[in-house]
């Protein structure tokens, strides 16, 4: 994948982040994403993100689990291996419900987990570019993607005035690839300047 140019703008406070997001939108910059260590209420609306389709996928996974359980048990107890359990009818629907319920939960949970990994491009043994190591710790990191019309230095200095700290300009691939994070910078222990700066 081609490398792109990004301006990385970490903030320490939510209020400043919201102001920055608003400013970036008003000035017409292309916001790549915002990385936060915890869910920030209202950020999705401020960014104008459209609703995730994850829960719809979850519903259909659940439906799949429900029907798999129903048809599989139905096939076993009625056609493949009909047994006489204490004189109960072969089609003992109430007794199947707990299993149908469990499989609904299992399918939707596992399915949604994998879908979530796919959408966020994360998985075990897979690596993607980290814009700032402290995005998983205590900084709220706004990343702006540079287009042909963006003056990266100007953006950096502009947001520095509005509370961004430890800013940088980075060239990065935004995909995911095999690898581990062993060699990555650990916050506060190593010098953060090891991040590639253009």
Partner 1 sequence: MIALREKFKIPKKLKAIAALLLIIGILTILSGFFTKGLSTDNAVSAQFWGVLMYNTIFWTLICNASMFFVCFTTLAMGGWQASFRRVPEAISCMVPIFGVLTFLILFYVVAIDHNYHIYGWLNTDVVQHDEVLKGKQGFLNVKFYLIWTVLTLALWSLLGWRMRVLSSEADKGPLLGEKGKKYIWKNTVTASLFVVWFALTVGSTVPWFWMMSIDPHWYSSMYSWYTFASSFVSGLSLIALWVVYLKNNNYLELTNQEHLHDLGKFIFAFSIFWTYLWFAQFMLIWYANIPDEVVYFKHRMQGAYRGIFFLNLIINFVFPILLLMSNDSKRKYNWIAFMATFIILGHWMDFYQMVMGSLSKQEVSLSWFDFGVLAFFVGVMIYGVAFALTKKPLIAKYNPFLKESVIHHS
Binding site for partner 1 (CB under 8 A): 41-42, 51, 55, 59, 94-95, 97-98
Residue (97 or 186) nearer to partner 1, CB: 97
Least distance in angstroms from the C-beta of 106 to partner 1? 17
Structural element, H or E, at residue 23:
helix 14-26
Residue (108 or 170) nearer to partner 1, CB: 108
Give the Cα separation of 82 and 93 in Å (integer). Answer: 14
Place of tokens 């990994």: 117
Residue (2 or 41) nearer to partner 1, CB: 41
Least distance in angstroms from the C-beta of 41 to partner 1? 4
Least distance in angstroms from the C-beta of 168 to partner 1? 31
Least distance in angstroms from the C-beta of 50 to partner 1? 12
Residue (63 or 198) nearer to partner 1, CB: 63
Residue (10 or 62) nearer to partner 1, CB: 62
Least distance in angstroms from the C-beta of 44 to partner 1? 10
Give the Cα separation of 52 and 67 in Å (integer). Answer: 25
Give the Cα separation of 191 and 110 in Å (integer). Answer: 39
Q: CA dihedral defined by 39, 197, 160, 44, rounded to 10 degrees?
A: -20
Least distance in angstroms from the C-beta of 94 to partner 1? 5
Residue (55 or 121) nearer to partner 1, CB: 55
Closest CA to 15 of 38, 34, 33, 40: 40
The Cβ of residue 164 has, within 10 Å, a number of other Cβ atoms equal to 25
Q: What is the distance of C-alpha 97 from the center of its chain? A: 33
According to DSSP H, which parts of 76-191 are helical? 93-120, 152-161
Give the Cα separation of 76 and 166 in Å (integer). Answer: 63
């Amino acid at each position: 994948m081609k490398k792109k140019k990004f301006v990385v703008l970490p903030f320490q406070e939510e209020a400043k982040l919201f102001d920055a997001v608003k400013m970036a939108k008003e000035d017409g910059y292309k916001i790549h994403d915002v990385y936060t260590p915890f869910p920030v209420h209202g950020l999705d609306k401020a960014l104008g993100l459209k609703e995730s389709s994850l829960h719809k996928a979850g519903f259909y996974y659940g439906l799949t689990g429900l029907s798999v359980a129903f048809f599989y048990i139905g096939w076993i107890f009625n056609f493949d291996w009909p047994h006489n359990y204490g004189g109960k009818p072969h089609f003992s629907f109430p007794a199947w419900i707990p299993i149908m319920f469990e499989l609904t939960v299992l399918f939707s949970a596992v399915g949604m987990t994998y879908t979530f990994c796919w959408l966020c491009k994360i998985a075990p043994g897979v690596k993607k570019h980290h814009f700032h190591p402290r995005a998983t710790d205590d900084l709220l990191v706004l990343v702006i993607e540079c287009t042909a019309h963006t003056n990266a230095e100007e953006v950096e200095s502009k947001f520095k005035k509005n509370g961004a700290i430890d800013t940088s300009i980075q060239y990065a691939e935004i995909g995911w690839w095999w690898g581990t994070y062993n060699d990555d910078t650990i916050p506060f222990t190593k010098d953060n300047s090891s991040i590639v700066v253009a």
